[in-house]
Structure 1
């Protein structure tokens, strides 16, 4: 199992708009694509406190896939490539150009 992590940051005045876009259109649209090997997608957020970037919000998407070929099917090629639609780019102050991937070693709990 592969865990794919991606982060994007918003300025305070764009946080609500970006969250609405991400949870209302982008995430449901990804799931509607029925990408083979995509298991789930979670959206998380926290107050941005790192790197002196100023006030704002950090969003994290966590997606699980069966393997890197499933990730490549999602991205349309290079598994590391970030998938950030133009309307999301317009609301983000910055974002990860490349996602991070972790291989599950062992899961505990349900």
Structure 2
């Protein structure tokens, strides 16, 4: 299992708008692509004094579905229309092998 992790930041005033876009538009549109091997998404949010950090974690069976999702440059962030104006900065996506995952 592969975790694709991406970090992006917004101004605090834009954070709720971006969170709503992720929940209501972006994550559902990723699922609607029906990429074989895509296993879901999680969103982590950390508020700071002047900005809000968003961390997305997308789970895939292997790197093949990651490439289908992200394209040839798998580290390039996949930014949906309307989002770039909300982001103040972002990092390349990173990919990790999930070695242990336990749920209770």
- TM-score, normalised by the number of residues in structure 2: 0.90
Alignment of 1:82-93 (within 5 A): 82-93=77-88
**RMSD, matched Cα:** 1.4
Instruction: Please state which structure has a larger fraction of its residues in strand.
Output: 2
The residue that corresponds to 1:7 in the other structure is 7
Give the number of equivalent residue pairs.
Answer: 104
Normalised to the residue count of structure 1, the TM-score between the two structures is 0.86
Moved over 2 A (4+): 106-110
User: Is the contact made by 2:12 and 2:47 (CA closer than 8 Å) also made in structure 1?
Assistant: no
Show structure 1 runs of 5+ residues with no match: 49-53
Partner of 1:38: 38
Q: Is the 8 A contact 2:2 2:97 kept in 1?
A: yes
